[in-house]
Amino acid sequence: MISMVAGVRLPDAARVAFYHQDFLAKALGSWTQTTMREASSWSISERELMAALVAKWDSCPFCIGAHSAIAIKGMPRETVESAIADYRTARLPSGFVATLVFLEKMTRTPAELSAADAREVLDAGVSRQAFDDAIAVAAIFNIIARYANALDFAIPTPAEFNKSAELLLKRGYGS
């Protein structure tokens, strides 16, 4: 029914959230909504770009496409695409890049994280609250990207990702 009203087949992530409430949907939806849409010094697009990069580091094409499409709604496509290609050379604020360095290490080699890694983010001018918010984005999307891969989510077309991005911006993540 939702797919008919929306005019597009719901992505597998939404199908799990709407139709399989017993499969972590309520808890995961609530946590994701809080992390991605409640007040933060990071914009929605910045948090969505963080999610897309976590998905890249987790090799999750579904989540890269979904969260890139949302990020593009609030920042230039070129910025998102260059960050996905190599955030270290993309035109991004230094504090954002320092945060991404931390999140990449958190995702790929968490046992190697140290207080010095955290200090580099804070020394780059990122507030403690913004840092905590970014860590929450990485934590939730490390879980989501892995279950998207485990469940082998179908990859929508760019037009379908765009339509889903509009719906997620309007509706949010709560299920």
User: Each residue of 42-55: pLDDT tens digit?
Assistant: 999 999 999 999 99
Per-residue confidence (pLDDT) for residue 159, from 0 to 100? 87
Token reading at 10 = 């719901």
DSSP single-letter state for residue 39: S
Cβ neighbors of 65 (< 8 A, separation 6 or more) are 155, 156, 158, 161
Radius of gyration of the chain (CA): 16
The residue-averaged pLDDT of 18-27 equals: 58
pLDDT digits (tens, 9 = 90+) for 144-174: 898 888 878 878 888 888 888 887 788 877 6
| 3-class DSSP assignment, residue 110 | helix
Amino acid sitting at position 98: A
Q: How far apart are CA 79 and CA 7, in angstroms?
A: 29
Token reading at 169 = 């911006």
DSSP single-letter state for residue 92: -
pLDDT digits (tens, 9 = 90+) for 62-86: 999 999 999 999 999 999 999 999 9
pLDDT at 135 over 50: yes
Q: How far apart are CA 74 and CA 119, in angstroms?
A: 29
Helix axes 128-150, 61-71, angle to 10 degrees: 140
Q: Which residue has the higher pLDDT, 61 or 153?
A: 61
Which of 34-38, 112-116, 130-134, 170-174 shows the lowest per-residue confidence on average (mean pLDDT)? 170-174
Q: How far apart are CA 166 and CA 164, in angstroms?
A: 5
Percent of the chain exceeding pLDDT 70 equals: 84
